Structure formats: C-alpha cells, structure tokens
A and B are shown apart, each in its own frame.
Chain A
Amino acid sequence: MRPLARIRYGIAASLAAMLVAGAAPAAPIVTKEGVLPFGTELGEDAAALPTELFATELAGGERSYQQKLGDMLFSSPALFGGVAKQAGMSCNTCHAQGAGNAALFVPGLSSRHGNFDTTGALFNPKTDNGLFDPVTVPSLRGAKNLAPYGHDGRFASLRDFIRNVVVNEFAGPEPSGGVLDALVAYVQDISFLPNPKMASDGKLATATSQAAHRGEVVFNRPFRHNASMSCATCHQPSNAFVDGQVHDIGSGGRFKTKTLVNADFNAPYFHDGRFDSYDQVVGYFDKHYDLGLSDGERADLVAYLDAVGDASTPATTDTVQTELDEIAVFVSVLDTAIHDHNAAIVAVAVDTVGGEWRELGEHYPEAKNTSVTAGLKQRGTARAAVREMVLTLRQVDMAAARGDFDAAAEAYADYREQVAPATSALAAAEPFSLFDPSVRRQHFAALARLAELAK
C-alpha cells in the first residue's frame, strides 16, 4: 500500500524508508478546521516502528530515571507550544522512536516526504526566516557521537540543539534545566543498531559480499584530482563515519558530515533530502569531485554503503505488547515523581501516558466502525479497559494537583493492578484491531474511499 501513496505524491521511496515506515496506507489529515494543513502526513499510522535500542541496556544495565523521564518527555506534546502543541505533536512525531521519519509531509513546509522547513511560519512565526528551506529529519541513533548538531552543525552541544528545537522551532516554553538534562540523557543513550556486516573498527566483516569489499577499496582510495582526500577523509570508518566537521560539497551551503551507520534507513539523503538512493548520492559525488568512477566502481561503492548502512533488525512490528512496553517505561516515571511529591512531573506523565493509552485504544475500532465486523465484544472490552486506565491515571494527577500524594500513590497502585487485566483484554482483541494487517487494510481502505468520495 505504501508505494501507492508515494505514487500519488509523485515521490519514489527507497525500500529502506518503506521498511521503516511500515507497509501501511497513508492517512493524511483531511479536515480543514485543524491546525495542521490539509493533506499533512505524520506517518503515525505506520504498522512497523523503527527499532530503538539503548546503549545502557545493550551493555546489560537498566536505564536511569532521568533517561526514562527524557524518553517520556520526548513523546510529550507539553514541551511544545503553538501549532505543534495544538496538534498533539511531540519530538517523537518527527523522530519516530529516535529515528527519522521518511513519511513526514507537511504541505507548504515540505518539498517531499521526509523533509520540512523548520524555520517556516507555521510552527513558530517568530523564527520564520522567510525562506523555503526544508531539511530532513535526522535519525538520532548514535547522536552521542555525532556532534556538532543541526544540519549546518551550528550547535556544539546536544543540549543547546534540543533547546533550540523546543523553543525556536516549535515555540515551546523555556524548558527547565532538569527537562533538558533528561532529554539529553535519553537521546545520548539511543544506540546505533547492530550490523553484522561491520566489524567494530568500522571495517567490513569478512562475510560481506565481494562487491561491498571492492567498494570499501574505492571508498578509501584517494580522489584522482586530490590525493589528500577520499570518501573516508570525512566519513571516517573508525569514527562512526563522521569527522565532526561541516563542508561545502556544492549542495547550497556548509553542512555537517552525515554518519553512514544504519544510513540505509535514513533516506532521503543530503540535508534537504534531495536524493532517494545511494546510487544518486554516489552519482552526485562522482560528478562533483570528478572522481571518474566506472559503472562497476559505482555499483561497488553502493554495495559498500548498503553494507555499512545496514542493521539486523531495522524495524519492529507494532503490536499491543510493544505499545504496552513503551507505556510501562513512561509510567515508571511516576514511581519517582509521586515519591518526590513532584506534581509538575506527575501532570506531564499523566497527560503523556494517558495520550499513549488513548492512541492504543484507537487501534480497536468502535462498534460503529463499519470497516470491521468481527470481535465486537472483545473490541468493546478492550476499549473500556483502555478508558479505565486513562481515568485511573487522571485520578493520580488530580490527587497530586491538590497536594494529596497519599491518594496519588493509592490511585497509582490501582492503576498498576489494572494493567494485567487490561493487557489480557487488549491481547484478546488484538486479532480484531488495527494491529492485525487485514483489519488495518480494511479500516484504511474505508477511510480512503471516504476521502475519494469527498474530493
């Protein structure tokens, strides 16, 4: 279904982007009374989510409260102001699971799927630069090793970069030091995905294809007109394939060197997403630096980039359990916040987790939804369970807001007791929910027919 949506907008998608976005039909915004432009696609309807791994957990540890707080805040619309807040957007809307978002398209701000103008008037009129200069949404995997930040590398610190996104790009209130620290802690822990084709020193593993190995040689070979340079000069294999610098490569300014690690899943390429494929990227560099590559060398270089940019599990199917796991991480913030009598964090956590529950509930079509007929009783039970979770959480917030943290703890205990039966109800109804591919197809096909009728 995804390719059909792409054709509709006249944009070709790479296989990698399709994998990350999931094989789901697009569900653009079709109302004109909302704050986002008609036709906006946020990619939130993806059936598969980018895999998100954390360095702490890969090392066998457990993430800290601060990291989990940052994770929750990353998915909270409360950080933003203006249109983004109104639309319920969060950092995670664009950086889905800490990765990019090849499906993102905002009419008037995007020149193609996967980019948008962060200095346009829609999200913050005060920082509108008057130019149409859309940029891609960078993956945050391995961000700890990828300074400087921003496409033009203007921020040496991740903290300053995040503050800029919140305050200037999305008109949010000035975040507290604690909020910024938590967001930094979370982002810095997002790991590159494992890639069995690569050795730890940035060289190809021996089992990788012959073509990729030949490409590795080309990658490290000095340019024919400048022997002091090769692809590896900037994309340093032993340094996450970056050099921490900005360069003018003829693309319209000075832009930071992008990592090639897991880059198969970071399309579209270049700061503005002008290229869909490695073949196009290699073609550009061949021409710009007059590298004189043969067709075979170009193909080998592409095979090498494919190998370097790969990952063993780039995407994870969205299931009830994956959603519940995420909710469990977010809600765990309440353990500390209630204990510390921190009503502000309780409020943000309840709003955010409640929102996550509501989104989960929307996966279960209501009785009046004509696109789904089976599992009516199970769906009803699941929807009711979700609503109870939301309202029990709300009781936590109401108690904390009036300063009664004993009552908040009691309501939170009730919430925890309800998780198991709610999980059972959701699992029983999963075959009749949008987590099921056929139900999903029916539902989105019905929406598409309706949109077609309304044209």
Chain B
Amino acid sequence: MQSFFQFSYLSRGALIAAFAAATISAATADPLTDGAKAYKPFAAEHIGIALAGAKELQAAAKGGDVKAAQAAWIKSRKGWEAAEPITGEFFSKLDDAIDAWPDAKQGYHAIEAALFSGKLDEIAAPADRLVADLTEFDKQIKAPGFTFAPQGLLNGASKLAYEVGENKSKGGESPYAGTSLIDMGENVEGIEAVFKLAFEPALKARDKKLAAAIDDKIEDVEKLVKVGDMKKVDQAALKRNGEELAVLLQNAASKLKLKKPSIGE
C-alpha cells in the first residue's frame, strides 16, 4: 500500500486512477472486498486534507489572519466533502459533531458564520474542537483493521447522489462561506471515487451496460457542477441527473448481490 498523501499532486480523475492502480497487487477472490480496499486510501487521503486544513485554520485564527483562516476552512471543507459518501454512513457520531448545523457549538458550521464575517475571536474554541474531531476521524479511518463494508459504500454514494441535486441556490449548507459549487464538485468526485474504485470492476463483469450508464451519468453530473459559477448551474438538470444517478446506483445493487441501498438519513 502506498502512502496516503503521495498522490496529492495529481488531478482528481488521475488521482482516482492512481488509487485503483495502487491496489491491483492486493487483489483477492472477492471483487467487492478488493473494491472497498481500493477505495479506503482515497477516503483517508481526503480526511487527511480536511485535518490539514483544520490545523491551518487553527493556526491562522491564532495568528489573527482572517484571509488565511478562510482559505484553510475551504481547504478543509473540500477534503470533507469529497469523503462525504462515507462520513455519515461509517462515522455517524463524528459526522454529527463535525457537520452539525445550523447553529452548532462545534464543527464547520459553528465556525463558518463567524469566520466569513471576520470574527476570528469567536472561532478559537470550535477550531480546536474541529482539529480534535478530525484527528480522531483520521486515526480511525487509517487504522489497519478498519475496512469499508461494500453495502455502506453503495448506501453513501447513492445518498450523496440524491443530495447533490438539492437546491443550493438558496444557500445550501454553507451559505456564509458561499462554497456550494465547491461542495458539489467535491461530492461528485467522492461519488466517482466510490464507484470507480469500489464497484466498477465488479459491475463491469456482471453488467457492462449498467456500469457504462453509471459512468456516463457521473460524467453528466460532473459537467453540470463544473461551470465555474453557482449562478450558471442548471439546478433542474442537476436535480434530475442526481436522482437518475441514485436510481442507477440502486439498480446496481442486485447485480452486485447487495441490498437496495438505503438513501435515508
């Protein structure tokens, strides 16, 4: 297994391919087990990015540098959003602590409103707590004995596909940071990573057409969010395509001998 951070210089698509290539030698008889193993470094990498950003945020807040603190919050958040297929599904308590809203005492949103209105003195305590929570997350996800259950991965990816179509034009989850477009882009990358690394090889062997349809649909969603300006996002098309992707992922379940994914909470 290669280092979690050694792929950081690569573009996102190439990053996913690199993660896939890195795990080929570890293949077992069960393609879903192999897939889950292949996905783990991606999730760990992005939780690592979230933690690194949180530490930079903590330091910038202490140093009184608002701009640097805001940039660090966004960096941390990007890592978090890319890992979102697994945050709630596998680490629900930490997810509740880190991503609570609207006026939580801890987590990203406890920091966001104050930080993006320039009030650094309000964020010291929640920034410390965010670092502590992400440190724990980082430790748990990188533990050698920790593995992702394929069913949970499919649940998480399907749920996020549904959620990416939520109307963010009214502010989404991070209205004060104004990072909805970034959030959505990272979410799609996160879904793509789950599919490409954990499920595509197995699904291709069982239903090539469905695997291609999911791949195409991810690309459609990706195009819809990569428009550079939130105002240019075709919200209706995004919602429709996000739902279609969730349906296709649900359809993949039986082919993969998994249960229909739950997309609830």
Contacts and interface: CB of A to CB of B under 8 A. Distances in A.
Interface of A: 29-36, 77-78, 85-88, 351, 354-355, 358, 366-371, 379-381, 383-385, 387-388, 390-391, 394-395, 397-398, 443, 446-447, 449-451, 453-455
Given A367-B96, A388-B263, A390-B243, A454 B113 contact: yes
Contacts of B162: 387, 390-391
Contacts of B140: none
Given A30-B175, A86-B169, 19 more contacts: A31-B170, A36-B170, A88-B169, A367-B265, A369-B100, A369-B101, A371-B103, A380-B264, A384-B262, A387-B162, A387-B263, A388-B263, A391-B246, A391-B247, A391-B250, A394-B247, A395-B247, A443-B102, A447-B102
B104 interface: yes
B230 interface: yes
B113 A36 contact: no
Nearest to A366: B265
Contacts of B170: 29, 31, 34, 36, 87
A45 to B, nearest CB: 11
A453 B169 contact: no
A88 B237 CA distance: 11
B169 A35 contact: yes
30 contacts: A32-B178, A33-B171, A33-B181, A34-B168, A34-B170, A34-B171, A78-B236, A86-B231, A86-B233, A354-B239, A354-B243, A367-B96, A368-B101, A370-B105, A387-B263, A387-B264, A391-B162, A391-B243, A391-B247, A391-B250, A394-B240, A394-B247, A398-B244, A446-B103, A449-B103, A451-B113, A453-B114, A454-B114, A454-B116, A454-B117
A76 to B, nearest CB: 10
Contacts of B167: 88, 358
Given A85-B236, A368-B96, A450-B103, A384 B172 contact: no
Nearest to B97: A368
B122 interface: yes
Contacts of B151: none
B171 A29 contact: yes
Contacts of B95: 368
A397 B234 CA distance: 18
Given A34-B231, A77-B236, A381 B122 contact: no
B166 interface: yes
A108 B136 CA distance: 47
A34 B244 CA distance: 24
Contacts of A355: 239
Contacts of B159: 387
Contact-residue size bin, chain B (C-beta under 8 Å from the other chain): 35 or more
Contacts of A454: 113-114, 116-117, 176
A446 B102 contact: yes
A34 B169 contact: yes
Interface in B127-174: 159, 162, 166-172
Contacts of B247: 391, 394-395, 398
Nearest to B174: A31
B23 interface: no
Contacts of B101: 368-370
A355 B169 CA distance: 14
Nearest to B265: A380
Interface in B218-265: 230-231, 233-236, 239-240, 243-244, 246-247, 250, 262-265
A453 B122 contact: yes
B99 interface: yes
Interface in B64-112: 92, 95-96, 99-105, 109
Contacts of B117: 453-455
Contact of A35 (B113, B181, B231, B240): B231
A358 B166 contact: yes
Contacts of B180: 31, 33
Interface string B42-59: 000000000000000000
A88 B239 CA distance: 11
Given A30-B176, A35-B231, A391-B247, A87 B169 contact: yes
B263 A384 contact: yes
Contacts of A354: 239, 243
Contact of A369 (B102, B105, B122): B102
A88 B240 contact: no
A354 B101 CA distance: 25
Nearest to B242: A394
Nearest to A449: B103
Interface centre among B103, B104, B230 (most CB of A within 10 A): B103
A86 B234 CA distance: 6
Contacts of B265: 366-367, 379-380, 383-384
Contacts of B262: 384
Contacts of A453: 103, 113-114, 117, 119, 122
Contact of A370 (B92, B104, B114, B244): B104
A411 B108 CA distance: 40
A283 to B, nearest CB: 39
Nearest to A34: B169
B254 to A, nearest CB: 14
A366 B104 CA distance: 13
Closest 7 CB pairs of A and B: A384-B264, A31-B171, A31-B175, A454-B113, A380-B265, A394-B243, A33-B230
Contacts of B244: 394, 398
B102 A33 contact: no
B85 to A, nearest CB: 16
Nearest to B158: A391
A398 B96 CA distance: 34
Contacts of B263: 384, 387-388, 391
Interface centre among A35, A354, A371, A397 (most CB of B within 10 A): A35
Nearest to B116: A454
A377 to B, nearest CB: 9
A351 B234 CA distance: 13
Contact of B264 (A78, A351, A383): A383
A358 B180 CA distance: 18
Contacts of B181: 33
